[in-house]
Chains A and B, each alone.
Chain A
C-alpha cells in the first residue's frame, strides 16, 4: 500500500465518480464505498423546508437529489376556485421571505388581461414597495452567506436593520411580513407623514452596515478561502440550466428584468446592475452586496422623484363580480433571487382558469444545485445552496 499518497486526492475530480455513456454518474451503493445521508428538511444548513438526498464517499458528494413538497399547499390549484381578489392571501405565501413580488405579478397579470392602467403615483409606490422588499431580504441574505461558514455575526447586524425596515412596512401597509399593499389597479395607500425622513434614517444605517459587512466578510481570509473557486457556474449553463438574477450576473450575463424588461418606474431610474465573471460562491455574494447598495440608492431616487400625491388606484369593477375576458399572459418582475414570473390563463369567469408561478428557485434548487453539488465537499452544501438563494415554497407552490 502506498501509505505516502494514501490521503491525497487528485485535484481534478471531474471524472469521479465514473460516468456512464450518457454522462450520468455511476452510483453503486452495493460497493459499500458510498453512504446515503439526508440534509434537511429540519437542518440549519438548508434554505427552508427542503431536503437533499446526498450520496457521499467520505466527505465528497457523489450525487444529490432535491426533495421538495414539505410545504406544498396546492396554492395554484386553490386559486382556481377563488375569485381574483381572493387569490391574494394565497398568492403572497408563495414566497414568505419576499412576498411583495407575488402581489405585484398577480396584480400585473389581472391588469394586463383586463386592460386596467395603473396611475403614475401608484406605480411609484409599487416600485418603492418592491425595492423595500428587496432591501429587507438582502439585509439577511448578504451576511447569511457568511453564516453558512459559521460566521454569524453579520446576520445579527442585518436582522436588526431588517426589523427597522419592517417597521416602515408596518406604517405603510399595516403588516410586517405579509403586506397585500399592491392590489389590482394600484396600491392601498399613500406614504404616511414623515415616512421619507424615517426611511432615510434607516438607509443611513444600511450604508454603515455595507461598510461593516465589507470588512467582516470580504476581507476575511476564512470566508475568501472557502468561497472563492467554490461551485463555479460556467457561462454556458445560464440558459442550459435556467440561471437568473444575481447568480447569472456573477457569471457575466446581464439578467435583471428591471433592465431587460423595464416595468413600473424602473426606466426612469438611474442604475446599472453589477456583473462580474468569476461565478463562484464568493462572486455571487459580492453581486448581492452590490445589489443591496444599489437598492439603497434606488429607494433614495424613488423617494426624491415620486410626486407627493396623486391617484393611487384606477377604477375597477366590483372585485367580487369581476369577470376577466378569456386570455393568457406572462408577467414578470425582478425579485432578490432573480426573475419572478406568473403565467395566468383566464376563461371569462370570475376565477382564474390556471395560475402558474415561476420563481428562480425552481431551476436553481433542482437541476442546477444537483449538478453543482457533484464533487463538492459535504461541508460546503449549505454555502452552495445559499449562494443560489433557493426558496422551497416557490418550487412547490
Chain B
C-alpha cells in the first residue's frame, strides 16, 4: 500500500495521504489530474472495481470534497481519492465512460449537491427527488428542520424536546 501511495504521488502529485487501515488509504489529488489518475488506477494498478463516489460539503472552506473509492479485487487494496472542487458553480469532469454504474452516482450528486458532470448521460434526470425545486438538499446550508417547519403545518397536541437534553435526563438522571 505504501509503495502504491508513493507511486501515485510521483505520477499525479497527490497530497495528504493517510493509511486508514492495513489495506485502505485516502489521498488528495488536483481536480485536473483526478480522472487521469482514476483511469490509470483502473487500467494499470488493478483497481477495477468502483466502490462508491460521493461528496462532502466543507461549506466553511467553500469547497466540495468528491471522494472516489476504488477497490482492487485481487489484493483487496482500497483507495479513497479526494478531489476538492469549488462550491460555486461546482463542476467535475465526468467518468461515466469508466464504469457503467458511475452515471448513477454522478446523477445523484447533481441532484443532491448540485455538482454538475457535463456530458454524463441522464445527469439532468430526476433520481430520488422527482419535482424538487428547492436548493440541493444535501448541501450543508439546507436546513432539514427549517424545511419541515416551513413546509408542514404544526399538528395540535404535539410537543417537542431538545434531543440532547432529553436523552441526558433519561440516561443520566443523577448528573
Contacts and interface: CB of A to CB of B under 8 A. Distances in A.
A323 B104 CA distance: 33
Nearest to B104: A366
Interface in A48-90: 67-69, 72, 74, 76-78, 80-83, 86
A72 B78 contact: no
B54 interface: yes
A83 B57 CA distance: 18
A341 interface: yes
B120 to A, nearest CB: 13
Contacts of A76: 138
Interface stretch (B1-9, B29-37, B87-95, B160-168): B160-168
B26 A328 contact: yes
Contact of A239 (B73, B137, B168): B73
Nearest to B128: A69
A330 B69 contact: yes
A245 to B, nearest CB: 13
A69 B130 contact: yes
Nearest to B47: A239
Interface string A82-100: 1100100000000000000
Interface in B65-82: 65, 67, 69, 73, 76, 78, 80
Interface string A344-377: 0100000001101010001100111001000000
Contacts, number: 107
A81 B144 CA distance: 9
A356 B54 contact: yes
Q: Report, as a range, how many residues of chain B touch the other chain.
A: 35 or more
B163 A82 contact: yes
Q: Report, as a range, how many residues of chain A touch the other chain.
A: 35 or more
Given A242-B50, A330-B24, A366-B104, A320 B171 contact: yes
B21 interface: yes
The 3 closest A-B pairs by CB, nearest first: A69-B128, A242-B101, A356-B54
27 contacts: A24-B121, A69-B127, A74-B144, A80-B140, A239-B50, A239-B73, A240-B101, A241-B99, A242-B49, A260-B76, A327-B18, A329-B21, A330-B80, A341-B51, A341-B52, A343-B52, A343-B54, A343-B69, A354-B54, A356-B52, A356-B54, A358-B52, A362-B101, A367-B100, A367-B104, A371-B100, A396-B128
Given A24-B121, A112-B20, A330-B69, 17 more contacts: A69-B128, A69-B129, A74-B138, A77-B144, A78-B144, A81-B145, A82-B163, A253-B73, A260-B76, A318-B172, A328-B26, A328-B80, A329-B20, A343-B52, A353-B56, A356-B52, A363-B101
Interface of A: 24, 67-69, 72, 74, 76-78, 80-83, 86, 112, 237, 239-242, 253, 255, 260-261, 318, 320, 327-330, 341, 343, 345, 353-354, 356, 358, 362-363, 366-368, 371, 396
